[in-house]
Amino acid sequence: EKGNYRHFMQKEIFEQPTVVAQTLRSYVRQLEQAVALPQFDFDLSGINRVTIVACGTSYYAGLVAKYWFEQFARLPVDIDVASEFRYRDPVLEPGGLALFISQSGETADTLAALRHCKAAGQTIAVVVNVPTSSMAREADLLLPTHAGPEIGVASTKAFTCQLAVLAALAAHLAVKRGRMSRAEECEVVAQLIETPSALNAALAHDDEIAAMAHLIAPARDVLYLGRGQDYPLALEGALKLKEISYIHAEGYAAGEMKHGPIALIDEAVPVIVLAPSGPLFEKTVSNMQEVRARGGKIVLISDAEGLAEAGEGCLATIEMPKVHPLIAPLVYAVPVQLLAYHVACAKGTDVDQPRNLAKSVTVE
Ligand code: F6R
């Protein structure tokens, strides 16, 4: 039931602090300040490579995880969308972990890729929201998200719960491989525990985002820019917007702008920039200047520090809490979801049942 909400998608966006906390309870031992996976028989310390396969929003969660596995666990990661992976004869060597991410656990291409990897002798890990699904049954290592049923066709709470599990998995692998000290593990746990309150702080901007929706709703095209682990969020923001508002949107790595997409920029193309302050911020600010010099209108999503430095002259800004890089992708997911949601409402589209889309894609 939708309760006080107008749409399931809206309800599910607002459930995120609760369901992310619920999911993390299975992956974090708060008293011991340790990450811990659900009980299983494998020793992951021998893993030498990770292959991530998923579709759509779940694939974008995998893209974020690639940064984390490489950065924290120093594990090489290959990642692909399932419909490509299956048909490209990927190199799968012994000792590999194949990781599948899916809300439904039934997406046909992802399931076929799982079976392909299993036949090729990979250890199969699955991050899945439906515990009775085919993927859950066929996993060696089942990593459930506890998002509860996701009814809105556009995935929201499943995504942030996937990210929470993947962050814990990255930390677990890092500890197992001797790449993360006890002090660093404690820090990761502390950050993960902070996530629900950071999500609440992000949700507090709902009214403000609703009020700016009319600035985006008339656009024919919208660009989303991000860098590093926030680049997949740009892709996710664009996907959410196109799915439910039918506005053409593209996500780009901020530094790629000048290699082509900048040709699209004019006053009519809003550019949504996702950029927490930090070591890469200056680079993104110079990309913003390139956009502005061509008349582009920017919506900057950043923290207080970032907005103080680069908020001036923007069409609009959305202030996120200042968070650790590990949880930034979860927190920045909220404003892009809300923006897509309110733009779709402003356009009067069917938010929960967008045209041409099905909740679970069980055909190839
Ligand atoms: C986007 C969306 C789709 C799914 C994709 C994978 O909002 O819902 O892109 O993410 O179809 O579905 P699952 O995660 O069920 O495998």
Q: pLDDT tens across 145-186, in order?
A: 999 999 998 999 999 999 999 999 999 999 999 999 999 999
Among the listed residues 359, 363, 362, 364, the one whose alpha carbon sits nearest the alpha carbon of residue 57 = 359
Q: List, for residues 283-315, the tens digit of each pLDDT value.
A: 999 999 999 999 999 999 999 999 999 999 999
**Cα–Cα distance measured from residue 166 to residue 86, given in angstroms and rounded to the nearest whole number:** 23
**Cα–Cα distance measured from residue 313 to residue 300, given in angstroms and rounded to the nearest whole number:** 10
* Ligand 1 lined by 112 (C-beta under 6 Å): no
Q: In sequence order, which ranges of 224-280 are alpha helices (DSSP H)?
A: 231-245
Which of 41-45, 153-157, 242-246, 277-281 is least confident?
41-45
Question: Do residues 83 and 56 make contact, with C-beta atoms less than 8 angstroms apart?
Answer: no
Closest C-alpha residue for ligand 1 atom 16: 102
Q: Which two tokens stand for residue 103?
A: 């809300």
Residue 237: per-residue pLDDT: 98
Binning pLDDT at 50, 70 and 90, where does residue 59 land? Answer: very high
> C-alpha distances in angstroms, 29 versus 20, 32, 35, 189?
15, 6, 6, 8
**Cα–Cα distance measured from residue 32 to residue 190, given in angstroms and rounded to the nearest whole number:** 11
* Ligand 1 lined by 201 (C-beta under 6 Å): no
**Cα–Cα distance measured from residue 318 to residue 119, given in angstroms and rounded to the nearest whole number:** 47
Compute the mean pLDDT over every residue in the chain, rounded to the nearest whole number: 95
* Ligand 1 lined by 104 (C-beta under 6 Å): yes
ipTM for this model: 0.99
**Cα–Cα distance measured from residue 362 to residue 364, given in angstroms and rounded to the nearest whole number:** 7
> C-alpha distances in angstroms, 52 versus 23, 58, 69?
21, 10, 11
Closest C-alpha residue for ligand 1 atom 9: 56
* Ligand 1 lined by 55 (C-beta under 6 Å): yes
Q: List, for residues 201-244, the tens digit of each pLDDT value.
A: 999 999 999 999 999 999 999 999 999 999 999 999 999 999 99
Most distant CA pair in the chain: distance in Å? Answer: 57
User: What mean pLDDT is predicted for residues 49-60?
Assistant: 98
Confidence check: pLDDT of 359 > 80: no
Residue 302: per-residue pLDDT: 98
Q: Give the pairing of strands 34-35 and 28-29.
A: antiparallel
Confidence check: pLDDT of 363 > 70: yes
| Spacing, Cα 55 to ligand 1 middle (Å) | 6
For ligand 1, mutation pick of 52, 55, 109 (most atoms within 8 Å of CB): 55
Atom of ligand 1 nearest to the CA of 54: 16
Residue 327: per-residue pLDDT: 93
* Ligand 1 lined by 107 (C-beta under 6 Å): yes
Binning pLDDT at 50, 70 and 90, where does residue 326 land? Answer: confident
Confidence check: pLDDT of 116 > 80: yes
Share of the chain above pLDDT 90, in %: 88
Atom of ligand 1 nearest to the CA of 153: 8
283 part of the active site: no
User: What mean pLDDT is predicted for residues 72-95?
Assistant: 95
Q: Which two tokens stand for residue 163?
A: 């990210």
* Ligand 1 lined by 155 (C-beta under 6 Å): yes
| Spacing, Cα 74 to ligand 1 middle (Å) | 28
Among the listed residues 58, 53, 52, 63, the one whose alpha carbon sits nearest the alpha carbon of residue 228 = 63
> C-alpha distances in angstroms, 334 versus 152, 233, 361?
15, 10, 24
Closest C-alpha residue for ligand 1 atom 5: 56
Question: Do residues 17 and 153 make contact, with C-beta atoms less than 8 angstroms apart?
Answer: no
User: What mean pLDDT is predicted for residues 46-61?
Assistant: 96
| Spacing, Cα 156 to ligand 1 middle (Å) | 10
**Cα–Cα distance measured from residue 256 to residue 254, given in angstroms and rounded to the nearest whole number:** 5
Strands (E), the chain: 28-29, 34-35, 49-54, 77-81, 96-102, 123-128, 141-144, 221-226, 248-253, 270-274, 297-302, 316-319
* Ligand 1 lined by 328 (C-beta under 6 Å): no
Which letter does DSSP use for residue 166 in this model? H
Q: What percent of the chain is helix, strand and coil (3-state, nearest 5)?
A: 50, 15, 35
User: What mean pLDDT is predicted for residues 325-334?
Assistant: 95
| Spacing, Cα 212 to ligand 1 middle (Å) | 27
**Cα–Cα distance measured from residue 231 to residue 233, given in angstroms and rounded to the nearest whole number:** 5
Check 118, 242, 347, 359 and give the catalytic one.
359
Sheet bearing 96-102, strands edge to edge: 77-81, 49-54, 96-102, 123-128, 141-144
Helix (H, G, I), strand (E, B) or coil at 107: coil
**Cα–Cα distance measured from residue 197 to residue 245, given in angstroms and rounded to the nearest whole number:** 29
Q: Which two tokens stand for residue 304?
A: 């207080």
Q: Which two tokens stand for residue 187?
A: 């820090």
Residue 41: per-residue pLDDT: 66
Residue-by-residue DSSP string for 306-325: HHHHH-TT-SEEEEPPP--T
* Ligand 1 lined by 129 (C-beta under 6 Å): no
**Cα–Cα distance measured from residue 135 to residue 129, given in angstroms and rounded to the nearest whole number:** 10
Residue 151: per-residue pLDDT: 93
| Spacing, Cα 107 to ligand 1 middle (Å) | 8
Residue 73: per-residue pLDDT: 95
Closest C-alpha residue for ligand 1 atom 11: 56
Binning pLDDT at 50, 70 and 90, where does residue 350 land? Answer: confident
* Ligand 1 lined by 15 (C-beta under 6 Å): no
Residue 38: per-residue pLDDT: 84
Helix (H, G, I), strand (E, B) or coil at 288: helix
Binning pLDDT at 50, 70 and 90, where does residue 196 land? Answer: very high
Residue 42: per-residue pLDDT: 74
* Ligand 1 lined by 274 (C-beta under 6 Å): no
